[in-house]
Each structure stands twice: as C-alpha cells, then as structure tokens.
Structure 1
C-alpha cells in the first residue's frame, strides 16, 4: 500500500489524466478502500485542488477548475513538451515572451538531468526559419529570467558595440522584447546607474547567490525607457522637425515612444532618427500632415529623392491615360 503522501500524488495524477473517476475505480487503482479515497479527496481539497463529487451509483470524482492555480503534475513526456513549447513561444512576438521565460526558468530548475538532456537534444536537432535578428539564445534568456525572478544579482561578460568584452555586475530588473532582439534593463552596480544590455551579447557567469531588493518602475515606463535609449543609440541620421498636427495625433502615428514638444494645439516639434535617411524620410511623410525639417541635411536630401520618385511615378500614370 502506498504511503499517504505518495498516494496523494498518485491520486492527483489519476484525476489529471482522466476526466471522471468512480470511487471504486480509484480504490482499485490505489489499492485502498473507498473510505480512504474519500479521505484523500478531502486532503487534496485542503491543499487547494478543486475536486467535484457526484453522488449515486454512477457518481464519482472530477478535478474541476477553481479560483486559483494549483500545482500540476507532469509526466516525463509532458514536461519535455511544455519546456519546448515555452521555449518556442519565447522567440515569437505574441506578447507573452517574458512570462514564458520565467515559467521556463521555473520548470528547467526542477527538471531531472535526463529530461533536461532530452530537451536540449530536441533543440539541437531542430531547425527553424531564421529570424532577421538572428537566433535567440534560450539558455542565456532563461538564466537572466531566473535571476530576475529570484531577485539575484547577475554577473556576466558583455560584448560592447565595438567588440570589446567587459565584465558586468548588475541587479537585473526587466527583460524587454523589441522586434527580434531582447534587452535587459538592469542597475549597474559599478556605474551606479541604469544600463541596457542586449541579451545576445551576454555570457552569464555562475549564479552569485546575492539577493537584492528590486527598484520599482511602472511597466509602461520600463518599455518607454528602453525603447528611447535603444532607439537613440542606434540612430545614424537624425531630423528635427515641426509637424502641423496635434501632438497626440502625431504620437499615435509614431511606432516608438519619443518626446514630443507641443508648440500649440495644432503644431508640435520633435526629433526622430534612423540608420537609413530614406526610410526616415518615408516615415515622416506617413504622419499625414505637413512637416518642416529644421535640422537634418541628409533627411532633406532623402525627401527630395522621394519627391522626385513620386513625381516620376505620378507622371507615368498620367501619361498612360
């Protein structure tokens, strides 16, 4: 006969594996009396598992949906499938990437070594259409997500934009996914300031075990802070412009958060940049309002090229009528 704790786990596994069980079927599978089954059902309920009971000859037990999420039991195949699924979701822009990473970090922390090897074998043997931004390093993401979840200081080697590798010691705050890239917002202990790191340039060291108290930043401020810093650091070409439209309308048409100065109710001013002047010129024309370029000679030249192309295209259409 199984001991009580082991029997409860076996009972929970049976309830998760099939929708309905009669008392007699459960007692036969567990090798105990129906009275013991009833007692064990009561213990599961006390632990937070919502088990419904139906009276009568054809009655029995069913694991139902409750008001809170209780722990689940997974067999080996299910655990591997969940780990692979969470890893796949973490590389897709579906809005739950960071949540998937923290869940994956929790799962991989308790995976037995033989199951961890199975997960890594499937990942190593699987190919996917490459993302324009390059492959996502799930082990690195998982290590960073685990440090954030456990509020543990993180040491890693970091490759800077000019190819140098520097040691960093930080308090990791949040992971931010933007397009194909992941960024870590962290408090840099050596510089005593916020810093943003590209995760694909990080090589985590062994866990430090040193805990820290997170610095509170609202979610929307985290995203805006990272986007502003990253965007400005990658701009090769910049344009300072006046737009003849309300600032709220202009902000709604720009895909990244930027600082917009309101001149009056129908005019605003801001700086925008890109690593391609022609792309920047095109994006300015898509604001749906008249613009004036105050600074940015390369962008002015790009606007002139764009205007000439559009004029040629309109001329060809008119001549064909």
Structure 2
C-alpha cells in the first residue's frame, strides 16, 4: 500500500474506531508499518485539516472528532454500483482520492448481501483507461490549493487558483497569474508548490461565460 492509499485507509480506520480511538501501536500493526510512520501519517492528516487528536494517558490513542463522522445512511446496491463506476472512471483525475474515500464509507455502512450485489454489478462495468493521468503529487497539491484557498506556485509562476476545468480531453487549472487569467494543463505541469499565503477569491464569472455544454460538477 502506498502512502496516499494508507492515509485514506488510516482516516477511515480512525472513523470506524469512534470514541474508543486507536493507539499508534495498533495502527502500526494494522498497516504493517512502524509507529514512527503512523505518527508521521497522523501529522500529515492533521496538517490537511482532518480533525484527529491524540488522547494522552493510559489507554489513550488517536481519536477523531465525532463531528467528522457521518450519521447512518442507507445506500442501495445500485446506488453504490453507480458510485463505484463513477469513481473508477475518474481514476488518476483531480480529487479521485477523496472520491475513493467516499466510496469506502458507503461500502462500510452496507450490509453484506447488498455489498455483494453491488460488486457483481461492477464486475460487469469495464473501463479502458486511455487518458494519461497527471502526476499524483502535483494533482494533490492543486487539490489542496483549491480546497484551502491558498496561493500556488506552478512552474515558478505564482497563481491564485480559481477552478479546475475539463475540456478537449484534458484537465486544466484556471487561475490568475501576473494579473491575467491563465489556463495550466495539469499533465503539462512539471512542479507545483503550495504556499502559506491565502489566495485572492476570484468569482468564476470573471473568467468568462462557459460553453453551453459545460457544467459545474455540483450540477448533477
């Protein structure tokens, strides 16, 4: 398991643990890594805004703020099959890690039979991955810049990110650099660095009018 997948799995393991929490030793055993690695991973989750904290004393461990957990939600096997197909089709694209984490949550609250039915459906959905995925590290940096509204340095260019757009078969970061709006093709970015500086909030409307075929991902 690579570090990215482990971070998502660690987050879900802590959510499932609830108020009981998990010790670093127990998490190290589950993920077959050292306790030092677990502590580094926890620090990375905290820096990313995930509400996990250390409970000191005997029987202590890492606990997730209960406000970060979802209330009981019922999913049908067809709904989860649809989610799984959408997540699979989006592999290697912006926010795909978060989408996979959401799918894990959905699967974790399903009963065994419904989960099996969803798996049977998805065994009959095949996807040919022909799009070249962007660099995962760069993609995650861009995701954080948008999510946390922070200035991003793209190939030595300072950018206030505005939005991500997919057009002509590619993903683009659209932002303001040097006082003008620029489009950066994700797969062509060679370096991206997140700064601590808050980005300027630029209304999407200032970019221009999108084509009639374009829709925000919220318009589902």
**Structure 1 length-normalised TM:** 0.30
Between the two structures, name the one with larger relative contact order (CA 8 Å, sep ≥ 6): 2
**Structure 2 length-normalised TM:** 0.41
- Whose radius of gyration is greater, 1 or 2? 1
